Structures are given as structure tokens and as C-alpha cells.
């Protein structure tokens, strides 16, 4: 077992990285003066991992959409009790989430962190599935899916993803569909669990009022060595162009909603960090609350305070989005593209970039005063293949010229699409 202490002179913080004998990578950040502790146990397995193989499989094969999310739900139910009951007895707050590319189980507590860590490591390593419990869960998650289908914000977003991406599974709802989860059975859950919940594909992070030797003592007791199962995932080929330029749907909304997206080349590692920071700065400069675009179009009433921007990126995808409400979404789309073309001709503001960079640096440094943020940073850094302090170093060293150089590739009108949710007849009549 290797234990490495990594320290940042820049901010005066450090953490331990342990390559545990079980095959699991463990990160521990001891934070003096904190009462709370946060721990995360994650696997590099999300909704986009629908085609994979291990040494036991002759070739990559597809599984039903939504199975990663389904598996997350099922792990909280073991043979004896509901796991939430165990955490409740210790006073810990626990939960989990599934994203496009990873699944994470976590807790936060102010005392008994070692006991909570035992619970966390125990239940995630003890899957218990029967067809009876799978059938029951299909009904529960089916209701969740229907609720999402009736959420106009979520519909707008995933309609945009379907417009931008032709083949990549990021275009599919994380929970899947009612039809896709109907294909899930207990043997299939065990197969996916065995493939992706191998400790060599996972990471444990602990931050706050903790001690590395105490964390390792629990890990030594709770973790069994995992063999390399030869896991391979496969993503479909994705064209550079968008699948379609517009998707429109009618729902019960009072004001039309829109989401405009720009598809660009995916990235990984340090390049992903650079591109993500650059995208954030560029979107803020062109479309943020202090931008000319926001001021002029909000004053005219074309957009309102719901207008905002975001980026979403991962294995095989990178997109920038602008969304909000407007009586004329397509005019907003037209003006967005005009603003982008204007910026490409006249250039970006160096002064605004420096202000945004200083603000982001302050936010990043302050995040080390939050145990949950530290645990999350360690987990995301590992899953993205970068060091824990790399985001800070990339940010500090990024120049205006480097950030501005991403503009052409990030925001290309010919690789953009719009999703519109329009009021249906009932909503229009109520209005």
C-alpha cells in the first residue's frame, strides 16, 4: 500500500493519496478546526456507460438505458434493512446521486465518522437484488421518470441534448425511460455491479475532522482485494455537426421556455480543466448578468431573470448552454448568435477576464473551508484524471490570450441548436 502526502504551498493545504492494497484509491484531507466530516464513495459509472465488456465477455454489449441510476437506488436496500435507517441512528446525513459519468454515495456527520464510514463501505459492497424487489423498484423509478417528463425545465434541457447529439448516450435521460427500465432484471443488475463496482474502478474520499490512519484502519477491515476485471467501455462515434437544429414541444407553461446549445470538441484531463474555465469566463463576459447582452435584452423585455448559462462536459461530449424564458425564443437565439459573431470580430475584454479570474480564484480557495467541497473536489479530480490542486494551478496560470483562444471552437453557430417549450392550448387559455 502506497501513501503519498501532497501539499500545496500556494494555499497551505494538503491531502493524502493512498493506493490501497484492495485496489481502491483513497484520498484523505485532514482539516484542522472543523467539527464535521464528509465522505464519498464513487464509481466511474454513469448513465452514458450503456455498452461495455469485461474479461468474462466475448465482446462489448449494450444494457438498458437508466440501469446505473436503477442500481444506485437498489444498493440502499440490503437484505436486513434500509441503509438510511443505519445512518439515521448515528445522526449522519446520507444520500447518493447518478450523473452522466459517475455514481456517488456519501454522508456528512459531526461525530462517529468511523462508524459511518463502516456503514458506507459495507452497504456499497453488499448488493442484494431479487426479482421481487426489482419489480417494485421499476414502479417507483417509473413514477420518477414520469415526473421528469412533466417537468418543462428538464424536458427543455434533454430535448436540447437530443438536438445536439445524434448518437452519444448523453442525449438520454439519466433515469432512462419507462420502457428501458422494464428490461432490467436481477441478473443484469449483478452483471453491471460486478463490472463497474470493482474497487479498481472506484474512489473513496474523506475530508474534515478525520485522521488518515483511522480511515485506513477502517478500510483495511472493510475492503477485500479486487482483481482487475478488464473493464472496457465503448462510446459510439459522434459527428461534429448537430443532430437537428430545433426541437419544439408544447407543455403547460405560462411563458415559452428555451435552451440554446453549442456543441464543441470533447476534452480530457488538464485540457478539460482549461476548456471548462475558458467556457465559463467567455459565457460570463458575453451573456452574464453584467454583460451588454443581458442588460439590453432584459430592459427590452426579451429575456428575464431566468436567463442563465452553463457548461456540461464529460467523456465524448462538451457543450455550452444558454436558457431562460421569452415570448420570442427564436429572436433570443438570433441575437445570441449575433453577439457571438460580434465578439469574434471585436475581441473579448481583458479587464473583464482578469476580474472573473480573480473572483473564481477566491471562490476556489474558499472552497477549501468546506468539508463537502473538499471531498467532492478530490473525487471529481480523480475521476477526471487530474490532481486535486490542478484546477487551482490551471486557473492561476491561464492567460487572457489562452482563454480567448477557445472562443471560436466553443461557440459555433453552425454547431448550435435550440429547444423550445411552448404553452399548450390549456396553458394559453388560462393565460
In whole angstroms, what is the distance from residue 44 CA to residue 50 CA? 13
- Please indicate whether residue 79 is annotated as part of the active site: no
**8 A C-beta contact, residue 343 and residue 321:** no
Grid cell, residue 350, equals 481583458
Residues 6+ apart with CB under 8 A from 357: 281, 395, 398
SS3 state at 300 = coil
Residues 6+ apart with CB under 8 A from 45: 68, 101, 102, 103, 192, 196, 197, 201
Exactly one of 13, 65, 72, 108 is catalytic; name it.
72
In whole angstroms, what is the distance from residue 237 CA to residue 398 CA? 31
In whole angstroms, what is the distance from residue 26 CA to residue 40 CA? 10
How far is Cα of residue 210 from the mean position of the Cα atoms in its chain?
Answer: 26
In whole angstroms, what is the distance from residue 326 CA to residue 333 CA? 10
Strand order in the sheet with 2-8: 2-8, 13-19, 25-30, 202-208, 37-43, 103-109, 93-98
Q: Pairing relation of β-strands 25-30 and 202-208?
A: parallel
**8 A C-beta contact, residue 196 and residue 49:** yes
Grid cell, residue 1, equals 500500500
In whole angstroms, what is the distance from residue 71 CA to residue 137 CA? 10
Task: Just list the catalytic residues.
Answer: 72
Amino acid at each position: 500500500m502506497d501513501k503519498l502526502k501532497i501539499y500545496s504551498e500556494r494555499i497551505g493545504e494538503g491531502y493524502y493519496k493512498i493506493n490501497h492494497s484492495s485496489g481502491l484509491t483513497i484520498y484523505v484531507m485532514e482539516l484542522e478546526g472543523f467539527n464535521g466530516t464528509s465522505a464519498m464513495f464513487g464509481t466511474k459509472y454513469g448513465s452514458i456507460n450503456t455498452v461495455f465488456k469485461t474479461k468474462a465477455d466475448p465482446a462489448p454489449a449494450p444494457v438498458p438505458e437508466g440501469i446505473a441510476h436503477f442500481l444506485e437506488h437498489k444498493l440502499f436496500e440490503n437484505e436486513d434493512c434500509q441503509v438510511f435507517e443505519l445512518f439515521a441512528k448515528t445522526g449522519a446525513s446520507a444520500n447518493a446521486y447518478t450523473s452522466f459519468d459517475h455514481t456517488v454515495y456519501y454522508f456528512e456527520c459531526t461525530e462517529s465518522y468511523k462508524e459511518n464510514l463502516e456503514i458506507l463501505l459495507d452497504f456499497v459492497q453488499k448488493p442484494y437484488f431479487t426479482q421481487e424487489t426489482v419489480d417494485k423498484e421499476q414502479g417507483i423509478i417509473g413514477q420518477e421518470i414520469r415526473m421528469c417528463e412533466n417537468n418543462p425545465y428538464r424536458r427543455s434541457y434533454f430535448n436540447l441534448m437530443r438536438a445536439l447529439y445524434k448518437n452519444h448516450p448523453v442525449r438520454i435521460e439519466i433515469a432512462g425511460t419507462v420502457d428501458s427500465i422494464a428490461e432490467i432484471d436481477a441478473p443484469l443488475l449483478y452483471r453491471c455491479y460486478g463490472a463497474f463496482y470493482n474497487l479498481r474502478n472506484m474512489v473513496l474520499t474523506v475530508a474534515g475532522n478525520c485522521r488518515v490512519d483511522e480511515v485506513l484502519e477502517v478500510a483495511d477491515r472493510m475492503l477485500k482485494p479486487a482483481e482487475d476485471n478488464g473493464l472496457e467501455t465503448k462510446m459510439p462515434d459522434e459527428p461534429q455537426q448537430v443532430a437537428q437544429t430545433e426541437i419544439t414541444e408544447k407543455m403547460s407553461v405560462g411563458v415559452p421556455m428555451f435552451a440554446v446549445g453549442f456543441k464543441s470538441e470533447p476534452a480530457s484531463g488538464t485540457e478539460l480543466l482549461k476548456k471548462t474555465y475558458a467556457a465559463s469566463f467567455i459565457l460570463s463576459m458575453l451573456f452574464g448578468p453584467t454583460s451588454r447582452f443581458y442588460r439590453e435584452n432584459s430592459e427590452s423585455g426579451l429575456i428575464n431573470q431566468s436567463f442563465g448559462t452553463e457548461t456540461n462536459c464529460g467523456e465524448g461530449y462538451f457543450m455550452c448552454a444558454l436558457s431562460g424564458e421569452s415570448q420570442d425564443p427564436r429572436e433570443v437565439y438570433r441575437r445570441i448568435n449575433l453577439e457571438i459573431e460580434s465578439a469574434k470580430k471585436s475581441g473579448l475584454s481583458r479587464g473583464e477576464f482578469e476580474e472573473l479570474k480573480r473572483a473564481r480564484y477566491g471562490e476556489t480557495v474558499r472552497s477549501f473551508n468546506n468539508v463537502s467541497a473538499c471531498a467532492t473536489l478530490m473525487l471529481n479530480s480523480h475521476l477526471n484524471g487530474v490532481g486535486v490542486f490542478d484546477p487551482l494551478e490551471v486557473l492561476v496560470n491561464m492567460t487572457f490570450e489562452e482563454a480567448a483562444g477557445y472562443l471560436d471552437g466553443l461557440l459555433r453557430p453552425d454547431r448550435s441548436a435550440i429547444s423550445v417549450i411552448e404553452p399548450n392550448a390549456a396553458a394559453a387559455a388560462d393565460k
